[in-house]
Structure 1
Amino acid sequence: MSSARLRLIVVPVTALTALTTFGTSAEAAQASALGAADPLKGHRFVYSKADGQYHVYDARRRHVAELTPGARTALVHGTKRTFREKTTTATVRTDAWVRKLRAPFTAAQIRKAAFRKELAGLIRSKSPDMLAIAMQYVVGAPAKKNAQGLRYAGDAHYGPMVGGKRQEGSDFNDYLGVSWRYFDNSVDRAEKAQYGSLDCSGFVRMVAGYRMGWPLENQQYTRQRLPRRAVEMERYAPGRAVIPNKGRKPASLAALQAGDLLFWDADKGDGKAVDHVGIFIGKDSKGFYRFISSRKTADGPTLGDVGGRSVLNRKGSLYSDTFRSAKRL
């Protein structure tokens, strides 16, 4: 959480490794190579052993970003926003903006001019991030169309009614109503009945994949792309596991940050396998860890409390008790 991250700066120095951008002769040479055009001049990258991340501070010592080795997610601290939905009185107010790097982060990138330019752009960006994009599919969200008239956002259903129940299987391309060709030339044709619908993993693939650019796959299991199902995302999606699956509810949620993928074993009728996925938003106005996911009972993406509270730390709540793991893309 952002408030916890900000306290890192007062942790005893033995717990932190500070990478002051150009503090050695070798770094000075890098500075000379970068020249005065360095967009991150004066910024410091501080490694925290506590959470395994690099925390970025600008020249005025403001905490501006967090980077996780092995993940493409860049958490940027910017203007505070409030997320709300009609189905709950709770709101989430956060300064976290979830952005995507071109490649998984490594410490070696810190002194590279291309990376510094990219990160500076993400810190300055005002374009919709993962959280804002996710909210474009909740109940009442207005339709958005591209120049060709394709509706790419707007209030989404979970799936069509079949036999009195919401049908699973609505992927991002079903919502769009288009066929999708994958990297191996396999093709998934859109199901007409599922137009405008997103199941839980289809919602994540729409937000992180189609909209934000994480590459997608369909049962190829390359470990470099977002697969189709929740259980496959937990096992094969790229990134870094921040809470491993030990077959029970995690003892702590402290490792979570906005944008992390969350996984549940919510259906006791299908064994012990993961069967649901969502996106962590942050701590809400009532002190609960809140997420957004697409659910049958809510008929689509929601951060609200229809069909179970969208929180992780309320004992007795379905999605609190059945939460299992988290991954940072």
Structure 2
Amino acid sequence: MAGAPDKKDEQGTLYAGDAGFGPLNTSGAEGGDLRLEQSDFYDFLGVPYPFRDGVVGAPETMRARALDCSGFIRMVLGHRARYPLMSSDGSSGDGLPRTANGMARSKVGADVLPLTGVAAEDRPANVDQLQPGDLVFFKLDARAKDRLDHVGMVLGYDTEGHLIFVSSREEINGPAIGDVGGVSRLDGNGYYAKTLRSAKRL
């Protein structure tokens, strides 16, 4: 979250604090993405991370203190809560995959809102069964074709009774709850409510 104070463990390794989404996209890629994705939790930490399949995640300097949407979830559930993590979507073994699409289509957890497709008509009809901590998956970018491309975590209800979630967003440059890039509500007809496609409970 913006302005969050740094917190370090007994070894002096940063594990919480102000985080960005990713480095600026200077290539002018098609679609005009402002920031690059692929910043995982070990990029934020700035230390190598040995996965159970033998792969070692190596932090990139340009991604320091950055977490994309799935990297943020892996930080919270994996690094902080010790849920098993996969090094990629296709690596061997169990655990939470690397991307939003990998998480949504994996066998981990229970499908609270089963994925039936990525088209507009595949939006879940009801979100009342969602609980705090559930992972919610979205279809935001047509360029991703059949892939789901955003993930967040349900927080509960806001002061007006709307179900809300937190995620790391390009538009606000990091983990956030709010209206920048779309209101953080899962009910109604806002941007994220209309692009919700599935949910899991770990």
What is the TM-score of this pair, normalised by structure 2? 0.90
Structure 1 residue 223, shift from structure 2 partner: 6.5
Q: Deviations over 1:263-314 (max 9, x none)?
A: 0001122213211000001111112110000000010001111111111112
Equivalent residues of 2:167, 2:176 under 8 A apart? yes
2:93 and 2:168 mapped to 1: Cα distance?
A: 24
Is 1:231 aligned to 2:94, yes or no? no
Q: For 1:184, what is the secondary structure of its paired residue? A: coil
Structure 1 residue 193, shift from structure 2 partner: 0.7
> Which structure 1 segments of 5+ residues have no match?
1-137
- Name the structure 2 match of 1:264: 138
CA RMSD of aligned residues (A): 1.4
Task: Give the AA of the match of 1:252.
Answer: N
Aligned pairs for 1:1-329 (under 5 A) are 138-163=1-26, 165-219=34-88, 220-222=90-92, 224-236=94-106, 238-247=108-117, 248-315=122-189, 317-329=190-202
2:53 and 2:140 mapped to 1: Cα distance?
A: 33
Residues 275, 142 of structure 1: alpha-carbon distance in 2 compared, 3 angstrom cutoff = same
Task: Give the AA of the match of 2:99.
Answer: R
Equivalent residues of 1:221, 1:236 under 8 A apart? no
1:223 and 1:252 mapped to 2: Cα distance?
A: 33
Task: Give the AA of the match of 1:182.
Answer: F
| Higher fraction of helix | 1
1:190 and 1:299 mapped to 2: Cα distance?
A: 19
2:61 and 2:188 mapped to 1: Cα distance?
A: 39
Identity %: 46
> Which structure 2 segments of 5+ residues have no match?
29-33
2:94 and 2:106 mapped to 1: Cα distance?
A: 8
Structure 1 residue 221, shift from structure 2 partner: 4.7
Structure 1 residue 183, shift from structure 2 partner: 0.9
Larger-gyration structure (1/2): 1
1:196 and 1:281 mapped to 2: Cα distance?
A: 23
Structure 1 residue 224, shift from structure 2 partner: 2.6
Equivalent residues of 1:308, 1:318 under 8 A apart? yes
1:223 and 1:311 mapped to 2: Cα distance?
A: 34
Greater RCO (CA < 8 Å, at least 6 residues apart) = 2
Q: Deviations over 1:116-159 (max 9, x none)?
A: xxxxxxxxxxxxxxxxxxxxxx1121110112221110010001
- Name the structure 1 match of 2:31: none
Query: How many residues are paired up?
Result: 191
Structure 1 residue 326, shift from structure 2 partner: 0.4
What is the TM-score of this pair, normalised by structure 1? 0.56
